[in-house]
Structures are given as C-alpha cells and as structure tokens.
Amino acid sequence: MIYRRLFVFLCLLGATWSHALAPADPARFEKAIQAFEAEDQAKAPPKDVALFTGASNIRRWQSLPERFKKTPVLNRGFGGSHISDVVHFADRIVTKYKPKQIYLNAGGNDLHSGRTPEEVLASFEAFVAKVQKNLPKTKLAFLSIPTSPSRWDEVELVKTTNSLISASCAKHGVDFIDIFPLLLGADGKPRPELYVEDKLHFSEAGYDVVTSAIKWQKEILAFAKQDAEKAPPADPIVFTGSSSIRMWKTLAADFPGLPVMNRGFGGSEVFDSFNYAHLTVLQYLPKHIVMYAGGNDINSGKTPQRVLADFKAFVARVHAALPECRISYISNAPNPKRWALIDQMRECSRLIEEFTKTDKRLQFINVYPHMLGPDGLPKPDIFLKDQLHMNEKGYAIWKEVVGPLLK
C-alpha cells in the first residue's frame, strides 16, 4: 500500500511538473495582438520600418521614436511574452509589415517560467527560420537577454542562453547585439540606475544603454579588427568622440613622434563614449585621452546640462580605472549647418570648461575662436559641402591649436 501511494504521488508530481513546463497558451495575448491590428486600421503603419518586438522591455519603450528619428520605427512588443509567443503571432505582428530591420528582445520570461536554455534557443531558431523564409531580405538582430536585479538568481541561465543564441546568430547571419555586459557596474552586478522601481524593467537610463548598443556595436567591434591588423602603441594618446575625430585621417601625420590613435565613431554622443569606454579607450591604457563630442547631443535635443553630466560620468569611469590619465576636451566647433544651435553649443562648452578647472588632470581645448572669420561667423572655406564637417583647412587649425597641448 505504501509503495502504491508513493507511486501515485510521484505520478502526480510528474504531471504537475510537466504542466508547469508546458508551453503557455499564446491565446492569453490575443487582446494585445488585436489592439495592434486595430491600431493599424486606425492609422496605416509606415513602410520600410525598423520593427521592434519581444517582451515588456520592448513594449514599455515609449521613447523609441525619439531615439531613432532617422528611421521609421514600429513597436510590436507585448509584455510577459516568450519567444515562442512571438513565433506564434509573427504573421500578425512582424512579417506582414515587411520591415527592413527586425529587433527581437525576449527570452528572459521563458527562463523565468522554467524553460531551459536549449528550449529558448529552439524557439529563437524557429523565429529566425520563419523570418528568413518569408522575408529573405530583411535584416534581423537579437538584443541579448538582459540581466536585472530582481532576477539576478537566474543570471547563469541568462549567460548560457545568450551564449547559445550568439553562436546561432553567427551561424544564421543574424546580428547579436550584446547589451548584457553594458548593464553591469564595476562590481559585476546590474547598475541600479538602469532599472525602474520593480528592478526588472529598464529606466530611460537603461534605454540609453540599449540605444547606444544598437547604433554603435558594429563600429566598436571593428576596432578590434584594426587592433588585430596593427598593434596599438604603448601608452597612447587616444582621440575619441564623434565624426570630427573619426574623419581626422591625418591624425598620425599631424603629430609625428606621438603615439596617437583614433577611436572616433561618427554620429556618436558623449554618452556613447562613456558606454563603450572599456573598448574604445580603457583597454589601451592611455596616458592621455582627447575627446570631441557634444554637438550631436545638442542636435538630438539634449541639454548642455545633460552633456556635462555624461562627460562627468566618462571622466569618473576613466579615472576609476586609470587615475593618472589626462583627459582633454575639445570645445564644440562652430559650423554653418548647426549655427542655429550656437547658443546651446556655447553653453555646453562653458559648463565643461568650468568643470575641467576642478581637476588638474582635465584640460579644455578651445578651438571655437580659431574657426570664426572677421564677421564672427564660421569660416566658410574650412568645411566640406555638408557645411558640418571640416576639410583639410579645418584640421590644419585643429592641428595648430591641439598640438602644443599634447606634450
């Protein structure tokens, strides 16, 4: 009798466990999917969109259109979803739009509900197969499963799953955008400021990290290829920031005998330099960093105060790792295309100049007055046709101003 009861108990336990791990019924999201369809009927979605889909960190991303102004975006995230749910509803929320680009962020709920990394991988590959069959020209990217303070006990499962999906992405021609390490602090744990009060979902600061990764991961990883082809110099002077740094092709020739290296990435903002500091500057152990950034920030709508805050964060991160490193900031440069923003540009430079006076390791390099003509306007002959970026005459000015301050 005892053995029979034990047998029945084990059978019931097995049935309960099997039910707990059974795929959740996608029908629980039917209302959310119908809401998307009603939205489409009320207003036709744009063509050639970048479509974001997945779980709640996508659904809650209200600032998405503001962060990708140059590209029409469409948010088709539904909170609590698993990757298998995205597969189930793909015809209704993904493929019918014929997007140019798809970003998928899901998998954390799968693991939290008891799915194994291998099961999550299988769901992911089912989604890839469906997209590539129906939309062979559409680019597909997977945003790695993030960590969070509320689910830190699941971190090893997340790491394993991300590793499996990353390998699958490489095999199937899918971009794997690795946001996971960018969410961690110096202690190796999730940075609290990147999450809202529930300690699970992203705050706007968290979305700053994700946005930066989407925009710049490819360019950042390209630096590793350059390093493999040519070893970086020892104790370098690293120039970093936006396109005026990236386009400084004569940098080495302009400063012969100095170990200069260029790690600028065009279109970037100060936050992006902070976000990827470990790969663009810190790993090279520089003795001196020269930054030019901030103009894109102001142009995107950020305030001078926000630019200052991001620069302070960059400085703090550098000096936490390299206490003796000098950091020079090149002032915002006046240009015809963005002349309407000149007051904000000046205020941004003023705030940062004042900040640099608080630390002997910091330096403000003022190129602004050297780029103006007698009429107080930007010299017309020092810019390319776009009226934004400098030509060789512009860089000659920077060479003369910056050079003496590098020694």
pLDDT at res. 3: 44
pLDDT at res. 22: 53
pLDDT digits (tens, 9 = 90+) for 308-329: 999 999 999 999 999 999 999 9
This prediction has a pTM of: 0.90
Percent of the chain clearing pLDDT 90 (strictly above): 92
CB atoms within 10 A of CB 18: 9
What is the Cα–Cα distance from 369 to 364, expressed in whole angstroms?
A: 13
What is the Cα–Cα distance from 96 to 130, expressed in whole angstroms?
A: 12
Report yes or no: 372 and 378 within 8 Å, Cβ to Cβ.
yes
User: Is the CATH number of domain 232-405 3.40.50.1110?
Assistant: yes
Q: Can you list the alpha helix ranges (DSSP code H) found in 2-103?
A: 2-21, 30-42, 56-59, 64-67, 83-88, 90-93
Which residue ranges make up each domain of the chain? Answer: 14-216, 232-405
pLDDT at residue 337 is higher than 50? yes
What is the second-level CATH architecture of the domain 14-216?
3-Layer(aba) Sandwich (3.40)
Residue 91, both tokens:
């015809």
Mean local confidence (pLDDT), 13-35: 68
What is the Cα–Cα distance from 151 to 190, expressed in whole angstroms?
A: 10
- Name the DSSP class of 113: T
pLDDT at res. 407: 81
pLDDT digits (tens, 9 = 90+) for 171-223: 999 999 999 999 999 999 999 999 999 999 999 999 999 999 999 999 999 99
Indicate the length of the chain as a whole number: 407
What is the Cα–Cα distance from 268 to 161, expressed in whole angstroms?
A: 30
Q: β-strand 101-105 against 50-54: which pairing, if any?
A: parallel
For the stretch 152-156, contacts whose Cβ atoms lie closer than 8 Å and that sit 24 or more positions apart, written own/partner, are: 152/189, 152/190, 154/108, 154/111, 154/112
The string over 276-285, giving b where at least 16 C-beta atoms fall within 10 Å of a residue's C-beta and e elsewhere, is bbebbbbebe
